[in-house]
Amino acid sequence: MAKVHIKNENKTVEIPDGSNLVDLEGKSSVIFACKVGTCGACIATIVSGAENLNPPGDVEKMYLDAFGGGNKRLLCQTVIKKGEVTIEY
Ligand code: FES
């Protein structure tokens, strides 16, 4: 199982290795809307553990650039391979 630490909720959610972080829906207060990477509702900062995530695709990169870039991800487009990640939204 992979662990997602949600810094601003002071909470850790366990999800299976290889899961899309859209699985946080209902297990956290992260808001998802489109779930296809086009609305920006699920944008979050990756505080640590980015190496355990899939790399952003070209379309996600385009949206992230529009939202200021940095170490942000659209959680609905993010897969945790294994291990731990800390996010803040
Ligand atoms: S839910 Fe719309 S971009 Fe993730």
- CATH number assigned to the domain comprising residue 8: 3.10.20.30
Question: In terms of residue numbers, what domain contains 21?
Answer: 2-88
Candidate from 60, 76, 78, 79 with most ligand 1 atoms within 8 A of CB, to mutate? 76
Please list the rounded mean pLDDT of every run of 10 residues in the chain (89 residues). 98 98 96 94 97 95 86 97 98
Please give the tally of structural domains in the chain: 1
Closest CA to 74 of 30, 14, 17: 30
Strands (E), 1-89: 2-6, 11-15, 19-20, 43-48, 72-74, 79-80, 84-88
Residue 21 · residue 78 · CB < 8 Å: yes
pTM above 0.85, yes or no: yes
Decide: 25 in ligand 1 pocket, CB within 6 A: no
Tokens 């296809």, residue located:
36
Neighbour count for residue 34 (Cβ, 10 Å): 12
Task: Give the model's pLDDT for residue 68.
Answer: 79
Decide: 34 in ligand 1 pocket, CB within 6 A: yes
**Alpha carbon of 53 to ligand 1 centroid (Å):** 17
